[in-house]
Amino acid sequence: MKREIKFSLVYRDMWQSSGKYVPRKDQLAQVAPAIIDMGCFARVETNGGASEQVNLLYGENPNKAVRTFTKFFNEAGIQTHMLDRGLNGLRMNPVPADVRQLMYKVKKAQGVDITRIFCGLNDPRNIIPSINWAKEAGMIAQATMCITYSEVHTAEYYINLAEQLIAGGAQEICLKDMAGIGRPDTLGRIVKAIKTAHPDITIQYHGHCGPGFSVASMIEVAKAGGDIFDVAVEPLSWGMVHPDVITIQAMMKDAGFLVPDINMKAYMEVRRLTQSFIDDFLGYFIDPRNRFMTSLLVGCGLPGGMMGSLMADLKGVHAAINANLKAAGKAELSEDELLVQLFEEVQYIWPKLGNPPLVTPFSQYVKNVALMNLFGMSKGQPRWSMIDKNTWDMILGKAGNLPGKLDEEIIELAKQNNFEFFTGNPQDNYPNELPRFIEEMEKNGWERGEDDEELFEFAMHEKQYREFKSGEAKKRFNGELLAAMEKKAATTGAKPMSAADKRAALYPKAEPVVAPCIGKVLWELDYEDESMPPQHGKLFEKDQFVCALETKYGVETINAFCKGRIVGIEVEQGKHVKKGDILAWIEKEE
């Protein structure tokens, strides 16, 4: 009897590995039915990692986005899963234990079935508590091994790690090959050993295309007993993302596995919708180089998902490095030459820093040190002249145990700085904090949200949540989007954007509040009140007072034409407007 192979669509990761932002709630609602109609996915990755923080960055409530997206798959019987950074939860830095625990209750209530728990250092102490909390909340706990390639990261290393995670209660094991540099034969041996010892443990493989090993790795993992494979769809498959489901389905079928058929009409609809989201606004923040694979990643092992930020960082210091080289009478570097030097520097310093798997956030730390080394050396300074606090926390053991040994040079540098190494449980460094957030929400009059989801979001992404609530995030994103659009128009020779084009881009789902006559705008009826207009996101009931116009005949009140939230203010308090001018934008509450 043929053995069954299942597929999981990593729709969240497709976007995160391509650019900065992810689709809006309404866009997710558009594409979900077509994903279901494809008929080939047993699972869909709906959220987690940085995606919910990204929602906040452009002024959208991530809780509503998650509930909207998962609902379609819950009703269709397709499992949903999220990416979970263990000690770091959904952010880049460690999270208090009570906030981590709350996350699983919230995400289960929001419709997420499976949590993929990983630690960037592969330290079981950062994973096992999350396994227990996830199971208590009713989620499936999928423990994750971050795959990389070094003298430390052997098949035996991963087989031993899997045993610890399964003993800690893991119901599934994921091989997270974030840079796509896992060697196919080694991955096959790892999976075979796990399946021999634990035949009932589900194994899921997640491999980015990057340097090109992932397709070969998939067939080796499948033959060794792998069960579920993460795939993508055009126009975001391949490059630095993941192999396309069409290719992997055909390969598995030829190898004799039982695989689901693909509804190609639905595939083309998912492809069309995804492209429309790119054309809408997401494409302005996608680095075109992420569409290409590169074997340069084989040596340095950096993950494809961070190539966009890496190239942005590289551009930021390129001119400064060349200025230093020119001042020293040395030849300047092209961007490609600097990129190769950066990859070589990462490859050189990685073992000296204890071989942390190059995954969020440790890939960023190692890359940052490498880039600062190149910058410092261009000025004649020695290596390690600039190491930031987060990287020192990693070096000193505050984030967990490093897989390899620190170089004596790094240990001596720590001693010179009077830094102490930490050998305890990393979670002990981050005490509970929920009471502080509860107290502040009560003081501000903020709702804790359904199933405490707003409380969780505030505690998980404090800075971004404050900026979301104040409207600062939306304002900043709007400026960023307009700048990107105007830059593209300038480089392509297109005509400049009109005011109407700009409004349509910034508020695609909103309707305008229009001045019915000439007058002075009064967001507050107290004529002397210089207060700001309504807070971004303020909810108005239908026919509720929004603002007034002071005219020569008296005061004309303007009420909300629907139940909705303010998403944009065009006119400040006391400014004069003409009939037909847009005062604000209201997005209808669904």
For 140, the enclosing helix (H) or strand (E) is strand 140-146
**Contact, 188 vs 221, CB < 8 A?**
yes
Q: What does the pLDDT read at residue 301?
A: 87
**Contact, 481 vs 284, CB < 8 A?**
yes
Give 173's contacts (C-beta < 8 A, 6+ positions apart). 142, 143, 144, 145, 162, 165, 166, 194, 201, 202, 203, 204
Task: Residue 107: name the closest of 55, 67, 61 by CA.
Answer: 67
Q: What does the pLDDT read at residue 534?
A: 73
Q: What does the pLDDT read at residue 289?
A: 79
Q: What does the pLDDT read at residue 531?
A: 55
Listed in sequence order, the DSSP H helices in 110-213 are 124-136, 155-167, 184-197
Q: Where are the domains of the chain?
A: 509-590
Q: What does the pLDDT read at residue 528?
A: 53
Q: What does the pLDDT read at residue 307?
A: 64
pLDDT averaged over 10-residue windows placed end to end, the chain, 590 residues? 94 92 95 98 96 93 97 98 97 96 98 97 97 98 96 97 98 96 97 98 97 97 98 96 97 98 98 96 88 88 72 82 92 90 93 93 92 92 92 95 96 95 94 97 96 98 95 90 88 78 78 93 68 72 92 92 87 91 86
Task: Residue 70: name the closest of 12, 118, 123 by CA.
Answer: 12
Looking at CATH, the fold of the domain delimited by 509-590 is given as OB fold (Dihydrolipoamide Acetyltransferase, E2P) (2.40.50)
Characterize the bridge pairing of strands 545-551 and 554-559: antiparallel
**Contact, 104 vs 115, CB < 8 A?**
yes
